[in-house]
Amino acid sequence: MKTARWWTTEKNQIRCTLCPWECLLKEGQYGVCRVRKNSGGQLMSLSYGRPLAMGLDPVEKKPLYHFLPGKQVFSIGTAGCNLLCDFCQNWEISQCGYENESAYTLYSPEDIVKLALRYQAPAIAFTYNEPTIFAEYVIDIAVIARERNLKTLMVTNGYILPEASRDIYSNIDAANVDLKSFSNEFYKKRTRGELRYVLDTLLLLKEMKIHLELTTLIIEGYNSDTAKLRDEFRWIVENLGPETVLHLSAFHPDYKLENHPRTSGAVLESARKIAQDAGLNYIYLGNLSFTDNNTYCPNCHFLQIERSAYDIQINVETHCRCGRPVDYL
């Protein structure tokens, strides 16, 4: 447990200023994320030093396809989340907190970096649950990681306020941000969040030159509407650029939507076509067994990276054979 970084006091209460909920907490109260608490008149981060999950994963699993392709990254996650998605595919850890605060093995930031180095991972990924809500731990790990020449990456819902975002991402190299829909109604009903904050985060990360990839989990009938997808993809092209990597991922029944059907390959392929027509150059499909997820040169269509599950064959170095620069290796 560590004193949190982003908060103010209001009368006898604490206002957390990390994410758009801006929870106002009385003594002993927890935030919506369940892992930040007013304890003794201070906001405390309960996640600090208490990872719930750690492992070595292909970076493609995050998913990041244009950042350290083919490498295994040391991944950690904690408990809780600041969105309440009823389709959450990681709900076992995202929808719990640290009710029994003493029942966890503690890992200092130095311990995490040492583990990553022991496994010869070139990067540390903050993933599995929402890293925004354990941002103090993220920053302390990332600072040491940089000193040891390790990269860091966030797999995030992008639901954060700009000031905290700048503090965190100035220490981070890459991010995959969920853009769950381009409909605020969807955000409010299915996640309890608001779209505009996520779009602001995307613009900020672009401005900060963080390597950025996006994921949209397509849930048939809920966020698969053609016109909305077109709006989303056009916004990405206009605001983040046509080179932005987009992952379209298939929903599988889970959590509160366990009776909703799995998204079909045909729906995903159709979304990919809409994204291509909008002008995006790199679109990959996730949670499907059979699909072409290779990287082709947008100019000459040369096969630059061949992917078969997590088997990666890289066929380019700094430039494609047509002369177009390859800036993601």
Ranked by CB distance to ligand SF4, the top (closest) residue is 31
Of 1, 2, 13, 22, the one binding ligand SF4 (CB under 6 A) is 22
The CA distance from 117 to 96, in Å, is 30
Name the residue type at position 80.
Answer: G
Q: Where are the alpha helices (DSSP H) in 170-322?
A: 184-186, 195-207, 226-240, 265-278
The reply on whether position 36 binds ligand SF4 by CB under 6 A is yes
The CA distance from 113 to 226, in Å, is 44
The reply on whether position 131 binds ligand SF4 by CB under 6 A is no
The CA distance from 324 to 54, in Å, is 38
> Of the candidates 160, 161, 199, which has an alpha carbon nearest to the alpha carbon of residue 181?
199
Helix (H, G, I), strand (E, B) or coil at 153: strand
CB of 21 to ligand SF4, least distance (A): 4
* Closest CB to ligand SF4 among residues 16, 218: 16
Give the interface segment with ligand SF4, choosing from 30-38, 91-99, 148-156, 165-173 (CB under 6 A). Answer: 30-38
CB of 195 to ligand SF4, least distance (A): 17
CB of 170 to ligand SF4, least distance (A): 19
Sign of CA dihedral 3, 144, 205, 269: negative
The reply on whether position 31 binds ligand SF4 by CB under 6 A is yes
Of 133, 141, 150, 177, the one binding ligand SF4 (CB under 6 A) is 133
The reply on whether position 33 binds ligand SF4 by CB under 6 A is yes
The reply on whether position 82 binds ligand SF4 by CB under 6 A is yes
The CA distance from 92 to 69, in Å, is 29
* Closest CB to ligand SF4 among residues 132, 244: 132
Of 2, 8, 12, 21, the one binding ligand SF4 (CB under 6 A) is 21
Classify the phi-psi angles of 225: left when phi > 0, otherwise alpha if psi is within -120 to 50, otherwise beta: beta
Give the interface segment with ligand SF4, choosing from 15-23, 97-105, 230-238, 264-272 (CB under 6 A). Answer: 15-23
Q: What angle do helix axes 195-207 and 226-240 make, rounded to 10 degrees?
A: 30
One DSSP character per residue, 39-106 reads ETTEEEETTTT--SEEEEEEGGGTT-SSSSTT-EEEEEE-S--SS--TT-SSHHHHT---SSTTSS--
Of 23, 85, 202, 280, the one binding ligand SF4 (CB under 6 A) is 23
Give the interface segment with ligand SF4, choosing from 11-19, 60-68, 71-79, 259-267 (CB under 6 A). Answer: 11-19
Q: Residues in the site for ligand SF4, rule: CB under 6 A?
A: 16, 18-19, 21-23, 31-33, 36, 82, 133
